[in-house]
Amino acid sequence: MKTMLKIEKPIHKIADKISSKEMDAILRIQSCALKAIHDFMYSREILQLMPVMLSTITDPLCHSVYDAKIKYMEQELMLTKSMILHKQMALMSDSRKAIYIISPNIRLEKEECKDSGRHLIEFSQVDFEFKDVKKEFIKDFMEDLFISVISRVKEDCKKELEALGRDLVIPTKPFARISTKDAIRLGEEFETILSEKATEPFWLLDHEREFYDKEHEEKSKVYLNYDLVYPEGFGEALSGGEREHEHEKIIERMIRSGTKPEHYTEYLELAKHGKLPKTAGGGFGVERLLRFLTGKKDIADVCLFAKKPGMKVLI
Ligand code: AMP
Ligand code: MG
C-alpha cells in the first residue's frame, strides 16, 4: 500500500514558528547545552571527531526503518543511522582513549512513530565511546555530564526557562538503576510508565539489542547495556553498552539478531584480525535533550526545520 505523506502545518505557520520569540529562547538553551557538553568533554580530555555521514556500513538498529541509501558511481552508500561501528574503529589507535561526535543521523522511521512526540527522521546524537572501561564507568560519566548540562542551563538561561515556564531540577547521583527483566512486569510500555512516575532520571539495564552490545561472559541473554530515561514522561534519553569486539561472538550475535554478516565484510575482517578494541559508550539525542530541557511535549517544537515521520518535508 502506498503511504500518503501528511502536511503537518502550512508553510506560513512554519515561518511563524521559525521566527518566534519562543524559538529564540529554545535556541539559546540549545546553544548553552551544547557549550556545556563541549566544555565537559574537553575537561575530561575526550577527543571530538567529525561526523561520518556516508558509508558502506551503519547501525542495523533494533527496530525497522526505511533504508536511506544513495548511489555514488558504481557504489551504494548508506546514510548514517548512528556512528557506533565507526566509533569502535576510531579507537583502534593505541593513544586514543575516548572520543565523541555530534553525529547527524538519518533514520527514516515508520509512520507508527509519527505521534510519539520524540521521533524525527533527521536528528543529531552526542555519540561517545571509551576504550577499556566497563558499564559502571559510563553511567557515572553520563550522570556527571547530565548534571553539568542541567546546572549550566539553569544558571545561564534563567530568562529563557522562565519564558517557557520550565523549572529544571538538578538530579542527584547515583541515578536509580532498574533491570528491564524486572520492569517488564509492568507490561510492554514499562519505559513510559516508569518515566511518567519518575521525578529524576534513571537507568534501565539489560536490553536485548543489536549485535554490537556485549552479552555477559557467563550468562547467556544478559546484556551489558543501559538506557538513560528522562523523568516526567519524557522517555528515553540515551542508549549505550559495553561492546562486542570478538569476531566469533559478533557473528553469533549477528545470526541471532537476523543481521547479515555479508553486509559487514570489512568490519568483520578487522574483528577477525583482532583490530577492534574493547570499548563502551553511548549516545543521546540533542533534540530529545532539548525537549526535556525546555519541557516541550513535541520534539518538532524544538527544531527549526523539524522532519517528523510520515510528514511531508516542505523546506
Ligand atoms: P539509539 O542508539 O537507537 O537508542 O539512539 C540513541 C539516541 O538517539 C536515543 O537514545 C535518542 O535520544 C536519540 N534518538 C534515536 N532515534 C531518534 C529519532 N528517531 N528521533 C530523535 N531522536 C532519536
Ligand atoms: Mg535506544
- What is the reported pLDDT for 215? 95
247-257 vs 265-272: helix axis angle to the nearest 10? 140
Q: Which residues contact 230 (CB under 8 A, 6 or more apart)?
A: 195, 201, 236, 237, 288, 292
Which whole number is the average pLDDT over 112-125? 96
Nearest protein CA to atom 22 of ligand 1, as residue:
285
Mean pLDDT of all residues in the chain? 97
Q: Which residues contact 194 (CB under 8 A, 6 or more apart)?
A: 178, 183, 186, 202, 204, 229
| Predicted TM-score of the model (pTM) | 0.97
Ligand 1: distance of its center to the CA of 142 in Å?
16
CA atoms within 13 A on the CB side of 314: 14
Nearest to 242 by CA among 229, 255, 231, 253: 253
CA–CA separation, 83 and 59 (whole Å): 7
- What is the reported pLDDT for 2? 65
CA atoms within 13 A on the CB side of 299: 25
Which whole number is the average pLDDT over 294-312? 97
- What is the reported pLDDT for 8? 86
Using the structure block, give the residue that is written with the C-alpha cell 568483520. 268
Atom of ligand 1 nearest to the CA of 125: 8
Nearest to 155 by CA among 23, 43, 24, 293: 293
3-state secondary structure of 70: strand
CA–CA separation, 106 and 299 (whole Å): 16
Ligand 1: distance of its center to the CA of 267 in Å?
23
Atom of ligand 1 nearest to the CA of 121: 19
CA–CA separation, 190 and 184 (whole Å): 6
CA–CA separation, 122 and 288 (whole Å): 12
- What is the reported pLDDT for 173? 98
Ligand 1: distance of its center to the CA of 116 in Å?
12
pLDDT band at 3 (very low <50, low <70, confident <90, very high): low
3-state secondary structure of 310: coil
133 grid coordinates? 572501561
Say yes or no to pLDDT of 1 above 60. no
Ligand 2: distance of its center to the CA of 95 in Å?
29
Nearest protein CA to atom 16 of ligand 1, as residue:
119
Ligand 1: distance of its center to the CA of 88 in Å?
19
- Describe the strand order of the beta sheet including 54-55 as a list of residue ranges: 54-55, 75-79, 69-72
* φ and ψ at residue 292, rounded to 5 degrees: -70, -45
pLDDT band at 4 (very low <50, low <70, confident <90, very high): confident
Atom of ligand 1 nearest to the CA of 228: 10
Ligand 2: distance of its center to the CA of 209 in Å?
9
User: Nearest ligand, CA of residue 283?
Assistant: 1
Protein residues near ligand 2, an ion, with CB under 5 A: 239
In sequence order, the β-bridge partners of residue 281 are 129, 241
DSSP character for 7?
P
Which whole number is the average pLDDT over 102-121? 97
Contact 261, 268 (CB under 8 A): yes
Query: Where does ligand 1 bind, in terms of residues with CB under 6 Å?
Result: 61, 82, 107, 109, 119-120, 123, 125, 236-239, 283-285, 287-288
Concatenated DSSP letters for 95-144? Answer: T--EEEEEEEEE-EE-GGGTTSSS--SEEEEEEEEEES--HHHHHHHHHH
User: Nearest ligand, CA of residue 237?
Assistant: 1
| pLDDT > 90: percent of the chain | 97
Say yes or no to pLDDT of 135 above 80. yes
Atom of ligand 1 nearest to the CA of 288: 12
Ligand 1: distance of its center to the CA of 285 in Å?
5
Nearest protein CA to atom 14 of ligand 1, as residue:
285
Nearest protein CA to atom 23 of ligand 1, as residue:
285
286-294 vs 21-43: helix axis angle to the nearest 10? 120
pLDDT tens profile 182-229: 999 999 999 999 999 999 999 999 999 999 999 999 999 999 999 999
Nearest to 89 by CA among 245, 240, 224: 245
Please choose from 65, 212, 288, 291 the residue to mutate so as to test ligand 1's pocket, defined by most ligand atoms within 8 A of CB: 288
